[in-house]
Homo-oligomer: A and B are copies of this chain.
Amino acid sequence: MLGSTISRQLSTPVRRWASTATASSPSSASGLRINSDRLLETLHRTCRWGAAHRYGDDPTETGMARLCLTDDDAKVRRWLIQEAEKLGCTTTIDQMGNLFARQPGSFRSPAPMIAMGSHLDTQPRGGRYDGILGVVAGLEVLRTMQERGFRTLYDIGLVNWTNEEGARFPKSMCSSGVWAGATPIEEAWGLTDIFNPTVTLRSELERHGFLGSVACSSDPAMGYPLGAHFELHIEQGPILEEARKSIGVVCGAQGYRWLTITVTGRDAHTGTTPLAARRDPVLAASKMIVASNAVAKKYSALASTGVMKLPRTSSTNTVASEVTFTLDIRHLQDRVVRAVQDECLETFAAIAREDGRGVSLDWTLDTDSAAVEFDAHCIAAVQDAATHLVGAEQWMKLTSGAGHDSVHTSQHCPTAMIFVPCKEGVSHHPQEYCSPADCTLGAQTLLESVVNYDRRRAEMEQ
């Protein structure tokens, strides 16, 4: 009964989809096939805005330095809006500059769209795939559907989230966090450029004309709610490659916390101040970093220091006055993240008393991202797509080690992610690489996943 109801409503696509549950034919469940050449050509063309750190002779052999809301980032954003509008999408920019491009479904339903989202900003020494692949693949899905006259049931669309990297304005997954209510918009607007404290995220939104009027919120009454969020992303780790799998079905994300530790000592002459009379913050900070690594190993967690700063006035023959360093702690379980933090801070306090006349210690918690589980129906939609495309043996379940905008969307709409392998697991590096075949398979999986979910959603909402 239900089936016939659906089939009446959904016409042929549903029969194709129904058949895919057991299908292993190479033909697409949706009847659509991603244009691989167009996908790759588009991806690399957009990378002309922000290309940096060349490592080879091929035009594509560069990394990226497209920091959020720089002129290059603004150019690629304007390009994306044009491309989406060429496809007949309606585009909306919210108060954090997030872009929503929407294509109507056959139901003409006012229900929130099914989104394919990621980000176009990069690290200062980033690559050509992190975030970029997810957005460009989403655009390719819309292009493929449009040229074949394919209509989803519910509205479908694309999202480019602002400042996912948090590299220029130091808060990662910044604007999806505002959308999800995890970060007050005033706090996000007030973030200052780490290289130029006179520039804020809001002032850059205004400068480029991306300070939209729609509230940055998932609240249907005022903001831009989503019916679902699917994100294609490179794994950024070595697991798929080492397991020889081609697709990762991402079921959730690690929790992580970012701390900034400040160790204060006292400047003194290195030649005349006995070790016992010193307050040496470089020695103490070094011991703390070494200790954090040992604590992380003990818990099978990750602890990393990416930034370490001494005063600009530091010199070879002077004990420095102060050191600040960052600590990034990650694990699949929040309680372990917390335990690592607690044990690190206890150890740091002991180290601060250890040498000479001691140092003083301060710390701040800058980011606290809880571990999340993604939506079962979204995950099933991705699994079905993966099984159909590569067979049950060629995909595996993963948990994301990195933060992604999907972590925030998952708190307000059904969400899942698709990972594809990247060479040697290298990411946040100019030589980050995802093969054309993997980019294409990822985009095809994204297409099938949203089509699968669109149909599941129709079933569920009957």
Report A's interface with B, CB cutoff 8 A: 65, 123-125, 165-167, 170, 172, 195, 235-238, 254, 256, 258, 266-275, 277, 280, 282-283, 285-287, 289-290, 293, 296-297, 302, 304-321, 323, 326, 328, 330, 355, 366, 400-403, 425-429
Contacts and interface: CB of A to CB of B under 8 A. Distances in A.
A256 B426 CA distance: 42
A286 B310 CA distance: 14
B302 A306 contact: no
A282 B254 CA distance: 23
Given A236-B273, A267-B428, 4 more contacts: A124-B313, A195-B312, A269-B428, A293-B355
B320 A306 contact: yes
A145 B308 CA distance: 54
A351 B437 CA distance: 39
Given A167-B315, A277-B238, A307-B316, A429 B289 contact: no
A427 B269 contact: yes
Given A268-B429, A315-B123, A428-B267, A293 B283 contact: yes
Contacts of A268: 425-429
Given A290-B287, A293-B355, A401 B269 contact: yes
A434 B280 CA distance: 23
Nearest to A430: B267
A326 B317 CA distance: 9
30 contacts: A123-B315, A125-B318, A166-B316, A167-B315, A236-B272, A237-B274, A238-B274, A254-B271, A256-B271, A266-B426, A268-B426, A268-B427, A269-B427, A271-B302, A271-B330, A271-B400, A271-B401, A271-B402, A272-B427, A273-B425, A275-B293, A275-B297, A277-B425, A280-B304, A282-B289, A282-B306, A283-B305, A290-B290, A304-B317, A316-B328
